[in-house]
Amino acid sequence: MKVVVDMDVCKDHGQCVFSAPEVFQINENGRLVYVAESDESLRDAVEEAADVCPLQAITIED
Amino acid sequence: MSRRILIAGASMGGLRAAERLRASGFMGEIVAVGDEIHMPYNRPPLSKEALAAEVTHEAVAFRLRPAVADVTWRLGVPIASADLDAGAVRLADGAELAYDGLVVATGMRPRRLPTPGPARGRHVVRTLDDARALRGDLGPGARVLVVGAGFIGCEVAATARLLGADVTVVAPEAVPMRRPLGDDLGAALQRRHERHGVRFLLGRTVSAFLGADRVAGAELSDGTRLDADVVVEAVGSASNTEWLDGNGLDLSDGVLCDNALRVEGRAGVVAVGDVARFPNPRYDGVARRVEHWSIPTDTAKRAAVTLLADLALGAADPAPFAPLPTFWSDQYDLRIQSFGAPALGADDIRVLDGDLDGEVVVGYHDGGALVGVVLIGLPSAVARYRAELMRAPAAA
């Protein structure tokens, strides 16, 4: 599963971290970092993260 | 036989309901009816970054997942009435649509001031078209009068200042965003707005708008007169439920639902989003509408499951529905984030971290228990306080 975050749109709200902590994290500078190639078993969690993103910056590409 | 689920409302809650119906295996027809001409889009940016830039549908539209590609969207036509016993709605264009299941997702509309005076130049901010119209009137030097000092009013004030407008906020409260933030945090935020050049005239209301064919100013309840080219009315919202009149429902404040989002006493009818008044066992179990951004998604997910169970197309979810309401507000470079229900802890507000004029965490308590948290900045503290709220037992 390929996860894409539009970093021009992302404002580091970090809501995605609560839905899919295996994929999304807020680093020590307060910026979002994520695992682009994530395991298929995390699809539901990443979809949930995409739903709750205030800026709607997260997509699953395949 | 194929079944039809009608979704009344084509905004975020309606879209999320359609997605969850499909995700839960519903194979029948889904028809979504919306009074706006636009496909579902995200509203919060309309008073923030989208208003500061060019307001386009593309900038705020929700992506449509493949699973909802076969949903029929009837856009630009309001629902005129519903007959829940017969299982049918009538649209404003006269069309009648029968359904097996109904999702009420018609949301809210902005209240308008009954104040006398010219109508031109007076705006609200709820829809994309509202924001577009307002954007056209904003610009350097425009004299903007924001009526209402809640979150929408303060966001518009901040955005208008960033665009170079001259901004005055008029509201009856003593401090902005008093509900739900409280006096101290509201006052601290007022100081920040004032540093950016926003003028507050609080403790008063507008008694008349002045001008001939369009707004040129306002007279306030204390006799103050001020010039204004643009007025933004940000004075709360009203539920879009008139189309449900005559069905014996409690529509006194949105649509009364049980904890599973079933409209009270009606199998096969559910409500989602800010129009749904439901009890949240995370707090006191009193049914309330919640106008927070996270609620359409949370309620739609549960309501879809409830609806399919009522139609014998799926299993009910026995777990209590206890969402943690969440919203945010961006004003200048401030990120304000709210978790839980600060309004329920308004009598016991404590600064938990930082200070009110810098980055801060404010806690709202009921019976000594933390029921809501508002953060300004401090992103590294979000996870800890959110976890505490998720863990907190329901207040007595």
User: CATH no. for residue A33?
Assistant: 3.30.70.20
Closest CA to B74 of B89, B86, B61, B59: B89
Residues B226 and B121 in one domain: yes
Residues B225 and B119 in one domain: yes
Fill in the amino acid letter for B287. Answer: A
pLDDT in tens, B183-239: 999 999 999 999 999 999 999 999 999 999 999 999 999 999 999 999 999 999 999
pLDDT in tens, A14-29: 899 999 999 999 888 8
Residues B345 and B287 in one domain: no
Residue B71 inside a domain? The answer is yes
Which among B310, B325, B358 is the end of a domain? B310
Out of B8-12, B139-143, B172-176, B351-355, least confident range: B139-143
Residues B121 and B175 in one domain: yes
pLDDT of residue B330 exceeding 80: yes
Residue B180 inside a domain? The answer is yes
Residue B225 inside a domain? The answer is yes
Residues B217 and B269 in one domain: no
Which among B295, B310, B325 is the end of a domain? B310
Q: Which of A12, A18, A54 is opposite residue B293, by nearest beta carbon? A: A54
Assess contact for B163 and B138: CB atoms under 8 A: yes
Residues B150 and B179 in one domain: yes
Residues B20 and B93 in one domain: yes
Mean pLDDT, chain B, whole residue set: 95
pLDDT score at B37 = 98
pLDDT score at A28 = 83
Structural domain boundaries, residue B72:
4-109+237-310
Closest CA to B311 of B24, B97, B78: B24
Q: Which of B16, B44, B386 is opposite residue A18, by nearest beta carbon? A: B386
Cβ–Cβ contact A18 with B under 8 A: yes
Is residue B392 very low, low, confident or very high in pLDDT (cuts 50, 70, 90)?
Answer: low
Residues B157 and B220 in one domain: yes
Burial of B264 (0-12, 13-18, 19+ CB in 10 A): middle
What 3-state DSSP class applies to B143?
A: strand
pLDDT in tens, B71-123: 999 999 999 999 999 999 999 999 999 999 999 999 999 999 999 999 999 99
Beta bridge partners of B288: B278
Residues B346 and B280 in one domain: no
Contact A13 B63 (CB under 8 A): no
Q: Which residue has the tokens 């970092």?
A: A33
Q: How many CA atoms lie within 13 A of B297 on its CB side?
A: 18
Structural domain boundaries, residue A17:
3-60
Q: Which of B16, B335, B380 is opposite residue A51, by nearest beta carbon? A: B16
Q: Which residues of B touch A (CB under 8 A)?
A: 16, 42, 44-45, 62-63, 293-294, 297, 326, 328, 330, 335, 337, 379-380, 382-383, 386
Residue B285 inside a domain? The answer is yes
